[in-house]
């Protein structure tokens, strides 16, 4: 018969752990890594306007609320969010969004939350504005069919600086310029385009 307890010598303490206990601890580490990777793919998806990838990263009922200095995103559901990404990460912008410093908390087997430190650089070549700044994301994640998804994401800007682009910079590579939507042709959600950076 198996004794469920083995004396673990860690820390000199009398810590007893079962295989089942340890499996739960490993599961938490796996979940944290999976959620980091999820958010990492999310940043790749938005800056590349990769809507097919984004479709796999958020829940059907995802809630989004971003409050910037001169914009606000409040979106409900995957379709609305993906449309907003496609429209705003268009061929006339250069987008760089980096998420640093994840603080991930696993609540239970299917729910988790996370804080991230956003730093972004955003060139709107149509509006001739460069926006840079930071924010702290407060996210909720949900495991659906074995995969972690972003269930809600919100931030209020920490700092934001908007600078007019006086001279168009020497852009030697521009992925979205080639692969992003053409605004007038493909983007019919004018309100969203106007309301966001």
Which region holds residue 133: left if phi is over 0, alpha if psi is between -120 and 50, else beta? Answer: left
Q: Quote the least distance from Cβ 188 to its own copies, whole Å.
A: 26
| Between 76 and 121, CB nearer to its own copies | 121
Q: Quote the least distance from Cβ 47 to its own copies, whole Å.
A: 7
Q: Quote the least distance from Cβ 192 to its own copies, whole Å.
A: 19
| Between 24 and 188, CB nearer to its own copies | 24
| Between 36 and 77, CB nearer to its own copies | 36
CA nearest to 27, candidates 103, 102, 110, 101: 110
Q: Which helix (H) or strand (E) holds 86?
A: helix 78-88
Give the binding site for its own copies (CB under 8 A). 2-4, 6-12, 15, 17-20, 22-27, 29-30, 32-33, 37, 39-41, 43-44, 47-48, 68-70, 94, 96, 98-104, 109-110, 115, 117, 119, 133-134, 136, 156-163, 169-176
Distances, alpha carbon 116 to alpha carbons 67, 101, 140, in Å:
15, 6, 12
The structure tokens listed for 50 are 């990769």
The structure tokens listed for 84 are 């907003």
The structure tokens listed for 161 are 């600086």
Q: Quote the least distance from Cβ 34 to its own copies, whole Å.
A: 11
Q: Quote the least distance from Cβ 181 to its own copies, whole Å.
A: 16
Contacts 24+ apart (CB under 8 A), 190-193: 192/83, 192/84, 192/87, 192/88, 193/87, 193/88, 193/90
The residue assigned the tokens 């809507």 is 51
């Amino acid at each position: 018969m198996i004794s469920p307890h083995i004396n673990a010598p860690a820390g000199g303490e009398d810590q007893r752990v079962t295989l089942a206990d340890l499996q739960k601890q490993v599961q938490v580490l796996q979940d944290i890594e999976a959620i980091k990777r999820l958010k990492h793919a999310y940043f790749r998806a938005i800056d590349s306007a990769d809507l097919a990838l984004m479709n796999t990263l958020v829940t059907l009922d995802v809630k989004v609320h971003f409050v910037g200095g001169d914009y606000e995103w409040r979106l409900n559901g995957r379709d609305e969010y993906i449309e907003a990404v496609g429209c705003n990460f268009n061929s006339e912008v250069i987008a760089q969004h980096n998420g640093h410093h994840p603080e991930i908390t696993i609540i239970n087997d299917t729910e988790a939350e996370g804080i991230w430190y956003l730093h972004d650089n955003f060139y709107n070549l149509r509006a001739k504005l460069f926006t840079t700044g930071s924010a702290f994301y407060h996210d909720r994640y949900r495991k659906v069919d074995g995969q972690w998804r972003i269930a809600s994401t919100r931030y209020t800007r920490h700092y934001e600086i908007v600078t007019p682009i006086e001279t168009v910079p020497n852009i030697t590579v521009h992925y979205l310029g080639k692969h992003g939507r053409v605004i007038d042709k493909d983007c019919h959600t004018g309100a969203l385009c106007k309301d966001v950076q």
